[in-house]
Structure 1
Amino acid sequence: MMATKSRCSQCGFEIAEPLAKNPLDFEFAAPGSRHYTLLNSDEVPLDPELDMIASVVSETETHLARLDDVISKTNAHLACLEDEVASVRERMRQLEEQRAPLHSYRAQNQAVRSPLRRIPPEVLAEIFLWTLPTPQRAVERLRFSAMESPWVLTHVSRRWRAVAISSPALWSLLPITCGTKNNSLYYPLSMIETHLARASKLKIHFYGTEADSQSQTEIFRLLAAHADRWEELSLGLTSALVPLLDSLMGRLPHLRRTWIQWNGRESQAEGVETIEIFESAPSLVAFGAAKYHYIPYLLPAKQLTSYQLDAPWGTHRDILKLATGLIEARVNVPFADDEPWPDPGPIISMSCLRRLFVSHVEILQFLQFPVLKEIALDMGLDEDVLPHLEPSLIRSACPLRMLCFDGCPPADATLSVLQRFPSIKELAIIVDTVEDSGRLTRFMTSLTVSKTEETTVVAPQLNRVSLGSEDKGYIDYDTFLGMVESRWRSAHCALKGAALLIAAGGTPVRSDLGVLRKEGLDLVLAEGLDASNAIDYLLMYPGWN
């Protein structure tokens, strides 16, 4: 078939023009010929051979001239093509420019049909609330950013901005964590003022530092000007902030929950004998304060439902006698070694108490709690659980469901408690020492169901076992797995769930754990902040600080 020729309209180049003779098919001197020998040696040619060489040179020049002509035309055609490509590219640019507004117009019309556009403002506001960080995550931010909720919601569209601004609940949480730099870099005062203006009730989480006290004082004064709208206060106190507390006296009508901690030992300024502002807060029901050295707080004890305090036992006793409505309490006595425990005296009846943490099992001898469901105990290595816990539980006749140990008591003592009180369905143990780790391993071994002695199961009523630690090295994963798997598969055990909580480091990713989960075991493997939060819940730290 003959090649079809086409000619470029601009340069006349025949795009399919064939060469009369391909130079690669040119008849070069054949090896072994006289011509080949002359080309590859310095022999002297004869006169007739000179005529032959002249003819070859002439023929070669003819082919070179033709090739040069084709190359020149091809180069000209390439330049023509480049101009044509540039023209096509310009045309494409113009088409894209025409397409962009059309595409945008279509998108705008499609947006009109979007279900999101028809969401009622009150539903949209509820969705916005779910974008807010938890108070704990909010105060962990090292720097303020307008690209985080709720501020970012005001930059999406006019409708979103209007809904966000008109939703006071979206602005109720105001977290400020002060660093070592000027605090205006962390949350500008002008934006704090705007934030305050958009809120109705306020949840203030303000954590100061001893650095840059002037800037922090300015911020706190601004917040204090709106104290009558505070519902929640989580406060990291510094020596510079303490004198400002007096201005809050009688100005906290809506405050329901308060958490107080100190930036450090040096923050507890000398001369501060008592903090009195909370006693006159008529709505306060939850109070917590952390230790360095104890400073008395005057509290409306009769109205409290949640309570955490690091204080001498005498202080706790006086508060608990009045706080008859407590539902949960964390009673920590960090100074117990400084003085002997007093005689029990009259038993304090806590008729509403459902969750209780005590730092010393000796505290139980002073209390009665008929509806208690969960108890957590801070264990010393040599403390015996049963002599203190058993009389208290018998006296209270409470429906205790969950038992948590901060530290691991001897295995036989724990097993005695579980056997003595079959109402305990959930067990949690938190370990952070080598000694506790060894005890925990022995205890898990005692809970493991032997295939040869399956009918003699220890504590068969347990339906959940949770283990936690700050470091992954304190829990033997193989022993944990063996214990959980044996109880899960035993027909004589009630186990339905298990948890492994590691705050630092990772939890094991193992196929055998996944198999148990697929079989229906409620298995929780948590690490980092999620694990820390779960451990704090088991140890009954308030979840609102």
Structure 2
Amino acid sequence: MFSEQVPLLNIHQSTPRRTTLCDKCHNTFVSHTPHPPVPTELLKSCGVPTNIQISETLSFIADEEREIDRYDVEILKLRHAMDCLESEKAEMREKIRDRKGWISALRRIPPEILSQVLQEWSDMDEYDLEVRTQEISAHTLRMSHVSSQWRNVIISLPRLWSRFAVSMEDTIKFRNADDLINLHLERAGSHPLLLHLIVKTKAPPEELFESRLGPHGDSILRTMARALPRCKELYLGVEDEFLLLLEKGLQGSSFPMLESFSDEFTDGHRPWSSSDNQVVSSFCAHLHNAPRLRRLFLASDYLIRTVMLPYGQLTRIHLITLSLTVAKHILQVCTSLSALTVEGLCDPVAPLPVPAVLQNLTYLDFRGCNTDCLTALFQSVTLPSATYLSIDAHLPPHSDFGRTVAWHSETEFISMLERSAAPLQEVHLFFNDVYMTSDRLAKLLPLCPQLTSLEVSVSTRPEDNMEQWAMVPQLLQQLVAEGSSHELSLAPRLAQIDLSERVVLESTALSIAELALRMAESRRLGSDGMQVLKKVRVECVLQSGDKGQTSHMLKDECLVLGTKGLECELILKLEQSAAEEVWELDADEEPLIY
């Protein structure tokens, strides 16, 4: 029976355990209670231990618990030593990191070069600080945290802190936005500012001023108002009641640094609607007195029609929409104008009795203008200094859009070029359902002897089916340098050609492509007085035909020109659906680009 078994101590004899703590000094840790474990057969048996066995086991437990305390003390000593080693190891890593940083390539960059690099990096972003309803982006501040060296260099460059975009179309939720703006304004120092400010809240106008913007938005707007006199470029789209606060921020300074002003509104509506608005008039009085104002980008001609601006000192004007009446006014009073861009010319009126001579105008770009307005415009101007001309002509609203017609303004256009005798270098013509007649087209290139880049895009109606309307073949034919008398060729400085036309017959497209290759080859080598042609791009749209067969006929010739150093691109497209006005490439065909 179990009660007759020998005591536990005598079942197994256990050797004391020795643990070496140090191989160098042979320091060991020896267990003082080498009691044997409980035999497995006893643990699996169903017997009951005797009183002697219980007493003996309790004695073993007491000894082993005291031994555990000894283990804990020793482990604590070892852990402390390990912690010391880990700490010393971490310190050593920091030293290594600091030493590598000290001799790093970035630290060896001279401050003047690092300054230039950081400024180039900054120019990759449009703004240094962007505050919007749901996000804040502070590019410069983030980069200033890279290292103390970078921070010192960045803080020493006020320009990197001077460009702001603040858009408040709802309540601003960021408490620190105003602090960030003030930090950037402080670090910008006296450097002129670029500010893009949009304030368009969804709250009803009858609500209190502060409640419409929220407490943070109200604080931001007041901060921006104080910064207005420091602006060099100002993009503004605000409602009238907010404009009043901005006007107070000027404090009679009248934009002493302002060079560029834009009334930009995100939904396309002009920001100020009533012509008798005293707030608008008061604000624009500061624009009138801005001594350095040179550039205007306006959503409409509203300001030009209703307030006085410093027209005589303006050099660049960009308008989204412009009535011809106001255009005539601009031509008469903006004597220093060098660039004019209009994205929509409307309200045709009689031309000026005597064409305005714009001696300084070098850049003219009219987009999306109907032919009636262009007729009056061409009759009203003389451009003796123009080097860039872009015209996008389409039929007026009352015209029949079901057919292609001759360009009503072509006579006036050619007459303007003749009396201007301008040194045009770039000409871009876009015709939508209009075309130039052969006799007028023949006069275009002789009037542009210094032309270096020509782009013509013609869109005709497939149902017209009149091959003689194709303008591109006529232009290419004129540009072919015949024989050895290259000095007599038209546009001898032409280096880049981009032509596009909707055609109705495969034979016409093939003729255009062959003419393009012939012209490119004739001008490829150049001669005395003739610029070497560098790039030719011709795009044709076929109403029907075998594009694949035509493409293969041209491929070899393109390859030959490509090996001779000319970038030649011929694109043939098939009409997908004339009714839908959609033009696509076949899925299995790629443009011929060599």
Give the TM-score taking structure 2 as reference length: 0.57
- Cα 1:284–1:93 shift into 2, 3 Å: same
Alignment of structure 1 residues 480-519 onto 2, 5 Å: 487-491=519-523, 494-497=532-535
Equivalent AA in structure 2 for residue 130 of structure 1: E
From 289, 296, 303, the counterpart of 1:287: 296
Contact 2:133–2:171 (CA under 8 A) maintained in structure 1: no
| Separation (CA, whole Å) in 1 of partners of 2:246 and 2:153 | 35
**Contact conserved, 2:129 with 2:139, CA < 8 A, in 1?**
no
Distance, in Å, in 2 between the alignment partners of 1:291 and 1:426 is 31
Q: Which residue of 2 aligns with 1:355?
A: 363
> For residues 198 and 432 of structure 1, what CA distance do their matches in structure 2 show?
54
User: 2:450 — aligned with what?
Assistant: 423
Structure 1 residues 162 and 351, CA gap change in structure 2 (3 angstroms): same
Q: How does 1:254-333 map to 2 (within 5 A)?
A: 254-264=257-267, 265=269, 267-270=271-274, 272-273=276-277, 274=281, 275-291=284-300, 296-309=306-319, 310-331=321-342
Question: 2:198 — aligned with what?
Answer: 207
Q: Partner of 1:20 in structure 2?
A: none
Q: What is the alpha-carbon distance in structure 1 between the residues aligned to residue 562 and residue 383 of structure 2?
A: 36
| AA in 2 matched with 1:308 | H
- Per the TM alignment, residue 197 of structure 1 is displaced from its structure 2 partner at its CA by 1.5
Q: Which residue type is aligned with residue 254 of structure 1?
A: M
Structure 2 stretches lacking a partner, 5+ long: 1-16, 18-78, 204-211, 396-404, 502-508, 527-531, 540-554, 571-594
Deviation string for 1:473-523 (max 9, x for gaps)? xxxx9999888666444446753235799xxxxxxxxx9999977864468
Larger RCO, structure (CA 8 Å, separation 6 or more):
1
CA separation of 1:390/1:334 partners in 2, compared to 1, >3 Å: closer, same or farther?
A: closer
Q: Which residue of 2 aligns with 1:189?
A: 178
Figure out how many residues of one structure are paired with residues of the other and give that number: 412
Q: Identity of aligned pairs, percent?
A: 22
Moved more, 401-410 or 302-311: 401-410
| 1:388 and 2:412 matched | yes
Q: Of Structure 1 and Structure 2, which has the larger fraction of its residues in strand?
A: 2
CA positional deviation for 1:220: 3.1
Cα deviation for residue 134 of structure 1 reads 5.5
1:253 lines up with 2:256 in the alignment:
yes
Deviation at 1:444, TM superposition (A): 4.7
Q: Residue 51 of structure 1 corresponds to which residue in structure 2? A: none
1:417 maps to a residue whose letter is L
**Residues 379-458 of structure 1 mapped to structure 2, 5 A cutoff:** 379-381=393-395, 382=405, 383-408=407-432, 409-410=434-435, 412=438, 414=441, 416-429=443-456, 442-444=470-472, 455=482
Q: CA deviation at 1:223?
A: 1.1
Task: State the Cα deviation string for residues 430-463 of structure 1 (Å, max 9, x = none).
Answer: 689988xx9999545555679xx98499966432
Superposed CA RMSD: 4.8
Matches of 1:430 and 1:142 in 2, distance apart?
Answer: 40
Given candidates 380, 384, 391, the residue that maps to 1:366 is 380
Quick check: 1:174 aligned with 2:164?
yes
Question: Counterpart in 2 of 1:463?
Answer: 495
SS of residue matched to 1:269: coil
Distance 1:124 1:185 in 2: 33
Classify the secondary structure of the residue corresponding to 1:324: coil
Say which SS state the counterpart of residue 306 (structure 2) adopts: coil
1:229 matched to which residue of 2? 230
CA contact (8 A) 1:144 1:187 kept: no
Counterpart Cα distance in 1 of 2:152 and 2:201 = 39
Displacement of 1:99: 6.7
Separation in structure 1 between the aligned mates of residue 430 and residue 109 of structure 2, nearest angstrom = 48
Compute the displacement of 1:187 (Å).
Answer: 8.3
Structure 2 distance, partners of 1:302, 1:177, is 32
Please give the alpha-carbon distance, in whole angstroms, between the structure 2 residues aligned to 1:165 and 1:193.
14
Distance 2:337 2:90 in 1: 65
Any residues of structure 2 matched to 1:336-351 within 5 Å, and which? 336-337=347-348, 340-342=349-351, 344-351=352-359
Q: Give CA deviations for 1:82-136 in whole Å, capped at 9, x if unaligned.
A: xxxxxxxx9x999999876555533432322234213343432322122225676
- SS where residue 351 of structure 1 aligns? coil
Check 1:423–1:263 CA distance in 2 against 1; reply closer, same or farther (3 A cut).
same
* Paired residue type of 2:350: W
The residue type paired with residue 269 of structure 1 is: S
